[in-house]
Amino acid sequence: MLLQPVILSGGSGTRLWPLSREKHPKQLLALIGEETMLQATATRVSDFSGALAVAKRMIVVCNEEYRFITAEQLRTAGFSDCTLLLEPAGRNTAPALTLAALSAVASDSDAVLLVMPADHVINDKQGFHQAIQNGLPKAIDGAMVTFGIIPDRPETGYGYIQIGDAIAGSTVRDLQAFVEKPVVEVAQQYLDGGRHLWNSGIFMMRASTWLKAIQHLQPDMYAACQQSMQQATVDCDFVRVDKEAFLACPADSIDYAVMEKLAKDTALNISGYVVPFDAGWSDVGAWDAVWQVSDKDAQGNSVHGDVLMEDSRNCLVISDSRLVACLGLEDVIVVETPDAVLVTNKANTQNIKRVVTRLKDENYPQTDNHRKVYRPWGHYDSVDSGEHFQVKRIVVKPGGRLSMQMHNHRAEHWIVVSGTALVTRGDDVMTLVANQSTYIPLGVKHRLENPGEIDLELIEVQSGAYLGEDDIVRFDDIYGRVAG
């Protein structure tokens, strides 16, 4: 029996726009410290030492759209051997966990799943490890365990868990109910009463226990997930669950689908417990939460990047690409990226999704991707554009290989800045180094590769009547892509 980490990495985090985008969600951002939130989640439990050893192969459930950057971030953090389950569409956390449980029992029928969202902050890793250790005996015995955060303020942005008495000789409490986000007066009552904890969204149970519960309580969900896993295919590092079967799956959260029904369904005979803990947790669901958990100066300001603060207090200012100067501000959030800038006060950060909705309705590209776009071979940055032209800075990592492709509406010039480029252009194959260039005419098959040991950097100048990313006809691709 092993402790099997499961990371749920499917959210988009629109309240952290403009850093978080549809295809680059918040778990892929380094909001606190040098690691991204996904990387911090993976490393948080890798060195756990307790009643069970940690499985070497982590299970990560993520969206198909950002599978390559997810795999790359895990690899650079030292987790190259992961099971990456790709959801063809979001169906909330209960189906995602069901996929992970089905994957886990295939190799370890006794596995205890530790289920963690990829986009949370926990500053006290040892405190988290102790909470896991406290809950393990109940999970091993076949119970469902969740983790509740001891509140320090009347927070209205979190759901709560109502707890019962402590189990004899343990800090573990009976699970009584899940409670929706309260108004501030009710939140204060919860804080004063001492019987409510913040809902962390972290769970622990045997994989077989979860599958027993989901089959009993949500048979349609279980059937759809089981079929989608039975018909799954392996693609590079990824497990692609069957799309048609998974799209038939009902959408629901772990809380609603199973946890809050445990006490009411005596036929199921599965108990629910809560482990209280206080380890510097935050779901960083909005910019004010990022400010709360960030390091601050004597004036209460948290700054990242090239930022100048003058006569300003209690602000969060993030600069990604240029100098940002702030004068005479208080309780303000400023987030600068190369293609979008957000300015708001902290009281309004929960409403940023209204801005994102409007941007989507008006077809702004800034809701979808950053100017820098990650691909399995590296990334590109669209540094300039105009009528009938576009300029990109392209970086191809060592061993990276773009698809053999053709464009119907544009030609391209490539100028190597550094590294070595192996270029296929029609029937010609050539090697280019710094300060050398080539021209790819419209309608000619071509490929770019990096055969070297360092990054290949080049400038691409596109010209033509249409410059969209969908003007790519692929003939061969080692990453299994058909578009994008």
> Taken in order 273, 276, 277, 280, is the CA torsion positive or negative?
positive
Q: How far is CA 206 from CA 144, 382, 427, 452, in A?
A: 8, 47, 57, 46
**Residue 375 above 80 pLDDT?**
yes
**Residue 483 above 60 pLDDT?**
no
As a whole-number percent, the residues of the chain with pLDDT over 90 amount to 85
In this prediction, residues 189-197 reach a mean pLDDT of: 96
Q: Where in the chain is the domain with CATH 2.60.120.10?
A: 372-476
DSSP 403: P
Confidence class of residue 264 from pLDDT cuts 50, 70 and 90? confident
Confidence at residue 481, expressed as pLDDT on a 0 to 100 scale: 77
Confidence at residue 484, expressed as pLDDT on a 0 to 100 scale: 43
Q: What is the pLDDT of residues 233-247, one digit of tens each?
A: 998 779 999 999 999
Confidence at residue 482, expressed as pLDDT on a 0 to 100 scale: 65
In this prediction, residues 347-365 reach a mean pLDDT of: 93
Report the CATH fold assignment for 372-476. Answer: Jelly Rolls (2.60.120)
Confidence class of residue 420 from pLDDT cuts 50, 70 and 90? very high
Q: Where in the chain is the domain with CATH 3.90.550.10?
A: 3-282
User: CA 336, CA 345: separation in Å to the nearest integer?
Assistant: 15
Are 174 and 164 within 8 A, CB to CB?
yes
Q: 3-282: CATH homologous superfamily?
A: Spore Coat Polysaccharide Biosynthesis Protein SpsA; Chain A (3.90.550.10)
User: CA 61, CA 93: separation in Å to the nearest integer?
Assistant: 10
* pTM score of the predicted model: 0.89
As a whole-number percent, the residues of the chain with pLDDT over 70 amount to 99
In this prediction, residues 355-367 reach a mean pLDDT of: 94
In this prediction, residues 368-386 reach a mean pLDDT of: 90
User: CA 159, CA 198: separation in Å to the nearest integer?
Assistant: 6
Are 162 and 177 within 8 A, CB to CB?
yes
Question: What is the chain's mean pLDDT, rounded?
Answer: 94
